[in-house]
């Protein structure tokens, strides 16, 4: 892994990708919580669609 990750640009790119993944994960979690608070039935439908 270290031999591949020797360039700084490459590491920054990986960090950016990891941050994007975190954001999309948080959005999914927040969306689930929002839908759940809206209506229990709609929450169940959203879970089935994924």
What does the pLDDT read at residue 31?
A: 72
Predicted confidence at residue 18, as pLDDT, reads 84
pLDDT for residue 2: 47
What pLDDT, on the 0 to 100 scale, is given for residue 45?
Answer: 58
At 1-50, the pLDDT tens digits run: 445 545 667 778 888 888 887 877 877 777 776 665 555 555 555 565 55
Where do we find the tokens 């994960």? 25
Q: For 27-48, b where at least 16 C-beta lie within 10 A, e where not — what string?
A: eeeeeeeebeeeeeeebeebee
How large is the angle between the packed helices 8-38 and 40-49, nearest 10 degrees?
140
Check: CB of residue 35 under 8 Å from CB of residue 43. yes
């Amino acid at each position: 892994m270290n031999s591949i990750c020797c360039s700084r640009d490459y590491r920054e790119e990986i960090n950016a990708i990891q941050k994007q993944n975190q954001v999309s994960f948080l959005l999914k979690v927040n969306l689930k919580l929002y839908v759940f608070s809206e209506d229990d039935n709609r929450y169940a439908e959203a879970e089935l669609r994924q």
